[in-house]
Structure 1
Amino acid sequence: MNTKAEQKHDNLELPEEHGPFHIIGDVHGCFKELVALLRQLEYEINFNADEQRYLVKAPDSCTAVFVGDLVDRGPNSPEVLRLVMDMVDQGLAYCVSGNHDDKLYRMLIGRQVKIRHGLELTVEQLKSYDSTFLKRVEMFLSSLPHHIILDEGRLVVAHAGLEEHLHGRNTRGVRELCLYGPTTGETDEKGLAIRLDWAADYCGKAIVVYGHTPVHEPHWRNNTINIDTGCVFGGRLTSLTYPDHVLTSVDSYDTYADSVRPFIRYHQHH
């Protein structure tokens, strides 16, 4: 089996798209917080019950860009998927694949995956949705790029970030880096992969916006910024407006999951 849907190696290059963009961090099923953040950014969101879809109106020529990990751990992954799929269908959003989205996709196409790290909640939540919806989710997840290049190459969005010399490259290795970030190949005492801090040495011209590893505060480092502020772990859901570099966030309504990894702090002040 080597169908296009199963390869999923593509990146997406949209040099003519200049924004403004609202780049949104890891949602992880936090549907209410996502709606609150979008409304704060002046998106209008209405649910059409007959069509079972969200009708969204974006503020002045703005486009949302999701850094991936739409699902798992949080209270309502299916509606997060529906809202993001509807926004993409309406031409109002782009989305890259996160490692959690990729794992859900592999499960939906019948691969053997371990149902843990919050996937068990998504599976449970999807039980009340019909096969048409599940098929739509599968098709959507199969179409997600592993990184997106925007604004004449000035902006790159990848779930776990990506070093400059790999921007625009399509290999299995690049895809793995976009989904999981670089690791040492070793695990810590909790059995978690030891991650390498690729952003510490980044010296590329393109701004790279990413998530994957929760941080207390988004902090610019060498033209990169991690905007995963751990909403599902009781943190916040954050958006970066590009090119203005404005950060907007909403507090999580609850702590839906316990973080196995501590949030990263780049500064020692509180």
Structure 2
Amino acid sequence: MTDIELQGAVPERCDLRSDSGPFDIIGDVHGCAGELEALLVRLGYQLTWSGHPGSYSVKVTPPLGRRAIFVGDLVDRGPRAPDALRIVMSMVETGAALAVPGNHDVKFLRWLAGKDIKPTHGLDRTIAQFEPESKAFRLQVSGFIRGLPIYLWLDGGRLAVAHAGIKEDMLGRYSGEVRRFCLYGETSGETDKFGLPIRYHWAAEYRGRTSIVYGHTPVPDADWVNSTICIDTGCCFGGKLTALRWPEREIVSVPAAAVYTVPVRPFGHPPLRPGAEIA
């Protein structure tokens, strides 16, 4: 564990089985605030911005009875990471949303804490976008990310949300192993020809009764694999931003307005070998 360990990582913060939704679960935003606004409007949410440069704020009104859930990776690669955070932070604060952290969010948290972090994989863009932001807003963002639960177990145990996924036997507990899996998935220790880690395709072997919704590794289209679904459809790479409506299991997407970041490996590149996925 590190000195910036997530405060919301304890099992009690993660176990929300008494909360049955309904939910709109939204994939990796990666600073694509414009697409996030468009997706929320399409899902029936109303957004109202106010203020002026240096003190913008946003109010988000959800459809009656519904809430959003964000699977993490709110920052990096896209053009408006601070605004993406403003939207999500406002929604969580008012009870219009829940959220879990992604690995990019945790890396940005380390940078906010003054750690010596390499500004790679889009972090350089987030740092640049935060240059005009106030110290107060930076502190708010730091506290927000630090307080997020590492996963969410919901709807009587029928649903779980974690950034990179979670195995059923991890639900209801917390450890370093659980934290790493939720943030990074299950890696093989190898790298592909692009120099990126190869991750085991754990979903292909999943046999649990709990439906797992996650992001982290972009796919061209969200589709169920056993009882799991990845809803990171690569908005920052010119793909789309996707939501899963629960319990309806309806997929709702909006296209990216641009290719904000050219991926290191081709978007949708197939695994190098059976049982593994590149991320």
Per the shorter chain, which TM-score range?
A: over 0.9
Amino acid in the other structure paired with 1:211: G
Cα distance between partner residues in 2 of 1:2 and 1:124: 25
CA RMSD of aligned residues (A): 1.7
Q: CA deviation at 1:15?
A: 1.3
Cα distance between partner residues in 1 of 2:118 and 2:124: 9
Q: How does 1:1-270 map to 2 (within 5 A)?
A: 6-8=5-7, 9-11=9-11, 12-49=14-51, 52-264=56-268
Amino acid in the other structure paired with 1:6: E
Residues 216, 265 of structure 1: 8 Å contact kept: no
Q: With structure 1 as the length reference, what TM-score do the two structures score?
A: 0.94
Note closer, same or farther for the CA distance 1:161–1:2 as it changes in structure 2 (3 Å cut): closer
Amino acid in the other structure paired with 2:30: H
Q: CA deviation at 1:112?
A: 1.9
Q: CA deviation at 1:53?
A: 1.7
Cα distance between partner residues in 1 of 2:2 and 2:189: 27
Cα distance between partner residues in 2 of 1:79 and 1:139: 16
State the percentage of identical aligned residues: 48
| Equivalent position SS for 2:225 | coil
| Equivalent position SS for 1:186 | strand
Q: Describe the superposition over 1:94-128 as per-residue Cα deviations: whole angstroms up to 9, x where unpaired.
A: 11110000000011112221111100000000001
Q: CA deviation at 1:169?
A: 1.9
Cα distance between partner residues in 2 of 1:7 and 1:159: 14
Note closer, same or farther for the CA distance 1:2–1:250 as it changes in structure 2 (3 Å cut): closer
Bigger mean CA offset, 204-213 vs 48-57: 48-57
Residues 74, 232 of structure 1: 8 Å contact kept: yes
| Equivalent position SS for 1:113 | coil
Cα distance between partner residues in 1 of 2:150 and 2:206: 19
Unaligned 5+ segments in structure 2 are: 271-279
Cα distance between partner residues in 2 of 1:235 and 1:102: 24
Q: CA deviation at 1:264?
A: 3.7
Residues 238, 247 of structure 1: 8 Å contact kept: yes
Bigger mean CA offset, 32-41 vs 51-60: 51-60
Q: CA deviation at 1:65?
A: 0.2
Amino acid in the other structure paired with 1:150: L
Residues 36, 250 of structure 1: 8 Å contact kept: yes
Q: Describe the superposition over 1:10-56 as per-residue Cα deviations: whole angstroms up to 9, x where unpaired.
A: 35111121111000000000000000000000101001217732111
Cα distance between partner residues in 1 of 2:136 and 2:156: 37
| Equivalent position SS for 1:23 | strand
Cα distance between partner residues in 1 of 2:2 and 2:221: 41
Note closer, same or farther for the CA distance 1:152–1:265 as it changes in structure 2 (3 Å cut): farther
The number of equivalent residue pairs is 265
Residues 213, 263 of structure 1: 8 Å contact kept: no
Amino acid in the other structure paired with 1:152: G
| Equivalent position SS for 2:161 | strand
Cα distance between partner residues in 1 of 2:251 and 2:10: 29
Q: CA deviation at 1:6?
A: 3.1
